[in-house]
Structure 1
Amino acid sequence: MTVCKRCGLEIRTNKSQKDAEHKRICQPCVDLAENDDQLYVSPLERDDLEIVLAWRSNPKIYRYFREQNNPLSWKEHVEWFESRNSDRYDFMIHYQDRRVGVISLGSDREVTIYLGDFSVHGEGIATRSLNWLCERLNDKSPIYAEVHKDNMNSIHLFQSCGFRLDAETESWKRYKYSD
């Protein structure tokens, strides 16, 4: 089995790939970097936990999380990381050699994404990263996203990436992406 040196997932053979370098990087990762080779994803690792904890403890980020209303403790954060299901996918988003955000697909096929580095907001990084995830994990389709009704940036993000409103409650909108 060959794994992508960027995202760490198994490479699906694509006979049209001729460049030896591309054979070590999956086509969705090649596509992600096509217009900007400074954007890529990598598997979330223990060394990333400190910055992820800082981001997730920022009320500007967690205010729209369904299951978090306060900053996390280091203990809670490490316990979550160590107890993740094997069918969950968590990726660090890198831009210009910096870690700038996280994108994940849970075992329930629900995607989450946030950019902890506010300096990259508006650069199209979330859009390109979400499109990458939908292409790379298309075998997990349909993919869902729950978005707080007041999180207009996320609503626009998911709609622009082909997610369609599937259900809604007083506070939450559920979007569905089908390949």
Structure 2
Amino acid sequence: MNSEVILRDVNKDDLPIFFEQQMDKTSNYMAAFTAKDPTDKIAFMSHWQKILDDDRIIKKTVLFNDQVAGHVSSFEQFGEPEVSYWIGREYWGKGVATSSLSQLLLDFVNIRPLYARAVKDNTASIRVLEKCGFKICGEDKGFSNARAEEVEEYVLKLSSKAE
């Protein structure tokens, strides 16, 4: 059995797995900024079709033990290059998020500075980002669909080696 984390291109067969993973209530709460209705499969598939059709977005499926464990991506948000990831809850605590983000940064995304965001109480995600070299550089707040309230988040930045 292969216990390493591997990134590959996202394909349509991954989407039903991503859909099931993002319906998890605990995962939604921790991510905070989620779909208005995580159970709306039509909206989910439409959103992912736009992602798949956009060549500017780097999107990779995360495999762990040859199973789809989630996805990692880089895209532009608020005029800045940003990374994001979603790891199925059954894979939490196994180093999958850190390994997949590290691989994305090493093999697919060379733009710096690069940004990420995490709700302030998502200490696990903040730790993953810090392990990958991101540093907290600011704060923001926004409405969380998953929590039905405004939440505070950290903005993190990965600078170039020269900075």
Interval containing the TM-score (normalised by the shorter chain): 0.7 to 0.9
Note if contact 2:58-2:75 (Cα within 8 Å) is conserved in structure 1. yes
Change (3 A) 1:138 1:50: closer
Match of 1:43 in 2: 9
Cα deviation, 1:8-55, whole Å, max 9, x if unaligned, reads xxxxxxxxxxxxxxxxxxxxxxxxxxxx76321111111111010111
Match of 2:66 in 1: 97
RMSD: 1.8
Tell me how far apart the structure 2 counterparts of residues 112 and 131 of structure 1 sit (CA, whole Å): 12
Q: Which has the higher strand share?
A: 2
Note if contact 1:59-1:70 (Cα within 8 Å) is conserved in structure 2. no
Q: Which structure has the larger Rg?
A: 1
Q: Percent same amino acid at aligned positions?
A: 22
Q: Any idea what SS the aligned residue of 2:76 has?
A: coil
Q: Any idea what SS the aligned residue of 1:106 has?
A: strand
Match of 1:159 in 2: 130
Change (3 A) 1:169 1:82: closer
Gaps in structure 1 of 5+ consecutive residues: 1-35
Which structure has more relative contact order (CA 8 Å, sep 6+)? It is: 2
Change (3 A) 1:167 1:151: same
Q: Any idea what SS the aligned residue of 1:110 has?
A: strand
Tell me how far apart the structure 1 counterparts of residues 129 and 87 of structure 2 sit (CA, whole Å): 14
Change (3 A) 1:97 1:105: same
Tell me how far apart the structure 1 counterparts of residues 113 and 93 of structure 2 sit (CA, whole Å): 27
Q: 2:96 aligns with which of 110, 116, 125?
A: 125
Match of 2:37 in 1: 70
TM (norm. structure 1) is: 0.72
Q: Give matches, 1:5-154, under 5 Å.
A: 38-63=4-29, 64-84=31-51, 85-108=54-77, 109-118=81-90, 120-154=91-125
Change (3 A) 1:70 1:78: closer
Note if contact 2:15-2:45 (Cα within 8 Å) is conserved in structure 1. yes
The number of residue pairs the alignment matches comes to 143
Gaps in structure 2 of 5+ consecutive residues: 142-151
Over 6 Å off, 4+ runs? none
Tell me how far apart the structure 1 counterparts of residues 129 and 4 of structure 2 sit (CA, whole Å): 23
